[in-house]
Amino acid sequence: MAAFNPVKIFSGSQSTYLAEKIAHYYGKDLGGYTCRRFSDGEMSPSFEESIRGCDVFLIQSTPPPTENLMELLLMVDAARRASAHYVTVVIPYFGYARQDRKDKPRVAIAAKLIANMLTAAGADRLMTIDLHAGQIQGFFDIPVDHLEGTSVFVPYIRSLNLDNLVIASPDVGGANRARTFAKHFNADIVLCDKHRKRANEIASMQVIGDVEGANVVLVDDLIDTGGTMAKAAQIILDKGAKSVRAICTHPVMSGKAHENIANSVLEELVVADTLPMSQTNEKIRVLSVAELFAKAIGRIRDHESISSLFIRN
């Protein structure tokens, strides 16, 4: 029988709420970790137990502010200098993923920069879920385990027993995501074609496809201000849909997002717990991905395939 290095799981300051659940499902307690701060805000992370020769999993989502990313980079560096055998960064929400290409002149490709930074810090592997664009995996020169939110969302939608189900994307760019989701239900898809004046501000939107009498489920990787989702839901309902609900893996929920969702025609918004909810909202249902991540950690630890964690069509 092959010998395994001990597994230790740690959480950055941003994701303790989720990391505790992941560690529980894995069957271990979180490792001892502190992040001290100087009076000017400078961070000094340290592991409060030996990790020499261990397979270390560092859990931290990276939403704004950027100090969450900085803390994760420092954790990776600290783990390397403490002689960890293997360092896997677990980033449930990979921030800056929307900046994955040059869509206009003189802009940064932030997702690639972050990939370079994590690799330079000494990460051996990345685990995440529902990247904004799957091709971001190619930005890394280390293995990437890209989990799928369908593992928790598909069983929930099935439990609703919706008739005449139609899957919708709130923008044309999410067509592949909607199509992948629709295959699980042998459902049709429709697209919402939107035009923006600037970030987070929609100039116009129209629906491509038939939603008359359908129970529509909008699918996206994240929800930020909620403006796009609320507008798409209203237009779809105006086109004759019976009901509209939405699934978004990452609840960024910035600005007036909670107000926009509460005042929308959505039956409900179903999200994962990759980010903590800043406030309660009667229309939002949170499904946990902690067990999914725990199982993935176990398969990586045992050098097994994680493809069995995906729901096949």
28 tagged catalytic: no
- Angle, helices 67-81/110-121, rounded to nearest 10 degrees: 20
Judged on CB neighbours under 10 Å (0-12, 13-18, 19+), 185 is middle
**Distances from the Cα of 245 to the Cαs of 135, 156, 219, 270, in angstroms?**
28, 12, 9, 8
Nearest partner of 177 among 230, 247, 227, 97, judged by Cα: 247
**Binding site, residues?**
40-42, 98-99, 132, 171, 196, 220, 224-228
Amino acid at 60: Q
Residue 13's CB is within 10 A of a number of other CB atoms, namely 17
- H or E element that contains 285: strand 284-287
**Binding site for Mg(2+), residues?**
132, 171
**Binding site for ATP, residues?**
40-42, 98-99
**Binding site for D-ribose 5-phosphate, residues?**
196, 220, 224-228
Amino acid at 215: N
Residue 198 CA to residue 117 CA, distance in Å, equals 29
Catalytic residue among 102, 112, 183, 194: 194
Q: Report whether 48 contacts 75 (CB < 8 A).
A: no
Copy the structure tokens of residue 137: 């995996």
Q: Is 34 in a helix, a strand, or coil?
A: strand
> Would you please indicate which residues are annotated as catalytic (active-site) residues?
194
